[in-house]
């Protein structure tokens, strides 16, 4: 596993930006959780708490025209791709100004203007969707890549394997990430696969694979960047397993009492934000005051997002069916 500092070719500004996104992701989800407990959001609240470095790291390594085929613990990717906390908060509150215009809620977030596919709820169906996009890029001769992410549980589904196989056979420009946070809802890893590392699954498809510390944003970023370059230059897909730990319940209604407390204590010490903070300070890359300023900026943004969402209107009932189906075009009578 990559140590901070070792083989690291990341500029100071980028490290600080990744710190900012980690903090923004954590605080936005904490605010959403608090609103959830106040009964103010529509539906449930799933967070990426403890695993934020996965989505921040892989999304930060993408280029502007690339695509992210995200899953539901990828809040960091939504933010890195430029979907604003305001629109995300309004989405959670079911408001007209939200990402889906109030038609959908919670983690069902996507916006092609930001290169993020809408998330299919069925796990791991974003893998085949991403694979399809990668096939299209290849056919069109576009030098773009796709990043697709799923949880450890998602890798036990058939769709996962079909996507991995096709991507490898056709050498498609896609990089598959696994947020291995040890549990699929209440099912621990050992109860859903007989192998030690999820990365072994890639061997069956002749696909290069890598295991990284999923709490080390620099390690995720570095591995992602390398794999994107390989894919962009025709090398084909890579599978990257990011080992991390889900520090909250499956969603905020779940106390996760099935997770041994000692395990959580152990991972708490490896928190991704603490880890990068320690690294930045110990290596004199920044000073505490600079990090405090970033934290203050994040708090302001989150306050502003909450205000915006609360003050925003709900969608008009007349809009119920707009944007749901493609607008029908006049049928051409000459075309059978």
Ligand X SMILES: Cc1ncc(C[n+]2csc(CCOP(=O)(O)OP(=O)(O)O)c2C)c(N)n1
Binding span for ligand X by CB under 6 A among 30-38, 93-101, 121-129, 131-139: 121-129
- The Cα 187–Cα 294 span in angstroms is 37
- The Cα 79–Cα 70 span in angstroms is 12
Binding span for ligand X by CB under 6 A among 16-24, 109-117, 183-191, 271-279: 183-191
Q: Cβ closer to ligand X: 138 or 202?
A: 202
Residue corresponding to tokens 């990284």: 212
- Residue 123 contacts ligand X per CB under 6 A: yes
- Residue 105 contacts ligand X per CB under 6 A: no
Q: Residue 221: how many CA atoms within 13 Å on its side-chain side?
A: 28
Among 106, 66, 101, CA closest to 82:
66
Residue of 47, 70, 179, 312 interacting with ligand X (CB under 6 A): 179
Q: Cβ closer to ligand X: 36 or 279?
A: 36
- The Cα 117–Cα 130 span in angstroms is 8
Distance in Å, CB of 152 to ligand X, minimum: 4
Residue corresponding to tokens 């306050």: 303
Distance in Å, CB of 124 to ligand X, minimum: 7
Binding span for ligand X by CB under 6 A among 19-27, 103-111, 150-158, 259-267: 150-158
- Residue 29 contacts ligand X per CB under 6 A: no
For 243, list phi and psi in degrees, rounded to 5: -85, 125
Identify the active-site residue in 258, 261, 297, 325.
258
Residue of 137, 183, 221, 267 interacting with ligand X (CB under 6 A): 183
Count of chain residues binding ligand X (CB under 6 A): 17
Distance in Å, CB of 49 to ligand X, minimum: 11
Catalytic residue at 232?
A: no
Distance in Å, CB of 113 to ligand X, minimum: 26
Identify the active-site residue in 250, 253, 307, 325.
250
Catalytic residue at 205?
A: no
Which residues fall within 8 angstroms of residue 224, CB to CB, at 6 or more apart?
A: 57, 58, 61, 62, 147, 175, 177, 240
Cα four-point dihedral sign 99, 104, 109, 113: negative
Map residues 185-204 to x or -, x wherever contact with ligand X holds by CB under 6 A.
x-------------------
What does the buried/exposed string (b/e) look like for 10-45 if buried means 16 or more CB atoms within 10 Å of the residue's CB?
beeeebbbbbbbbbbbbbbbebbbebbeeeebbeeb
- Long-range CB pairs of 316-325, under 8 A, 24+ apart, other chains included: 316/96, 319/96, 319/101, 319/102, 320/103, 323/101, 323/103, 324/103
- The Cα 218–Cα 212 span in angstroms is 10
Distance in Å, CB of 180 to ligand X, minimum: 8
Identify the active-site residue in 23, 87, 91, 246.
246
- Residue 154 contacts ligand X per CB under 6 A: yes
Map residues 239-258 to x or -, x wherever contact with ligand X holds by CB under 6 A.
-------x---x--------
For 174, list phi and psi in degrees, rounded to 5: -140, 145
Which residues fall within 8 angstroms of residue 335, CB to CB, at 6 or more apart?
A: none
- Residue 305 contacts ligand X per CB under 6 A: no
Catalytic residue at 307?
A: no
Residue of 63, 82, 121, 169 interacting with ligand X (CB under 6 A): 121
- The Cα 20–Cα 182 span in angstroms is 26
- Residue 73 contacts ligand X per CB under 6 A: yes
Residue of 3, 5, 37, 122 interacting with ligand X (CB under 6 A): 122
Residues that bind ligand X (CB under 6 A): 73, 121-123, 150-154, 157, 179, 181, 183-185, 246, 250
Active-site amino acid positions: 246, 250, 258
């Amino acid at each position: 596993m990559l140590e901070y500092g070792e083989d690291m070719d990341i500029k100071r500004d980028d490290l600080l930006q990744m710190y900012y996104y980690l903090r923004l992701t954590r605080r936005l989800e904490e605010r959403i959780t608090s609103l959830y407990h106040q009964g103010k959001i529509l539906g449930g609240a799933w967070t990426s708490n403890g695993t934020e470095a996965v989505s921040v790291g892989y999304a930060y390594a993408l280029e502007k025209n690339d695509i992210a085929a995200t899953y539901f613990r990828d809040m960091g990717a939504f933010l890195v791709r430029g979907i604003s906390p305001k629109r995300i908060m309004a989405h959670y509150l079911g408001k007209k100004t939200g990402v889906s215009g109030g038609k959908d809620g919670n983690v069902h977030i996507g916006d092609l203007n930001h290169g993020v596919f809408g998330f299919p709820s069925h796990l791991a169906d974003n893998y085949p969707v991403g694979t399809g996009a990668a096939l299209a890029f290849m056919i069109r001769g576009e030098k773009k890549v796709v990043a697709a992410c799923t949880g450890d549980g998602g890798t036990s589904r058939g769709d996962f394997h079909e996507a991995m196989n096709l991507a490898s056979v056709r050498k498609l420009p896609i990089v598959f990430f696994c947020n291995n946070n040890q549990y699929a809802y209440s099912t621990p890893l050992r109860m859903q696969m007989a192998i030690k590392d999820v990365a072994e699954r890639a061997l069956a498809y002749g696909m290069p694979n890598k295991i990284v510390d999923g709490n080390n944003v620099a390690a995720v970023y570095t591995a992602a960047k390398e794999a994107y370059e390989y894919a962009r230059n025709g090398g084909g897909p890579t599978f990257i397993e990011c080992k991390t730990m889900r520090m909250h319940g499956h969603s905020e209604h779940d106390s996760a009492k099935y997770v041994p407390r000692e395990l959580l204590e152990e991972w708490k010490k490896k928190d991704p934000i603490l880890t990068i903070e320690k690294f930045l300070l110990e290596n004199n890359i920044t000073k505490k005051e600079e990090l405090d300023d970033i934290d203050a900026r994040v708090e302001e943004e989150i306050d502003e997002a909450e205000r915006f969402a609360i003050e925003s209107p709900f969608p008009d009932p007349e809009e119920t069916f707009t944007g749901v189906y493609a607008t029908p075009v006049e049928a051409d009578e000459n075309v059978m």
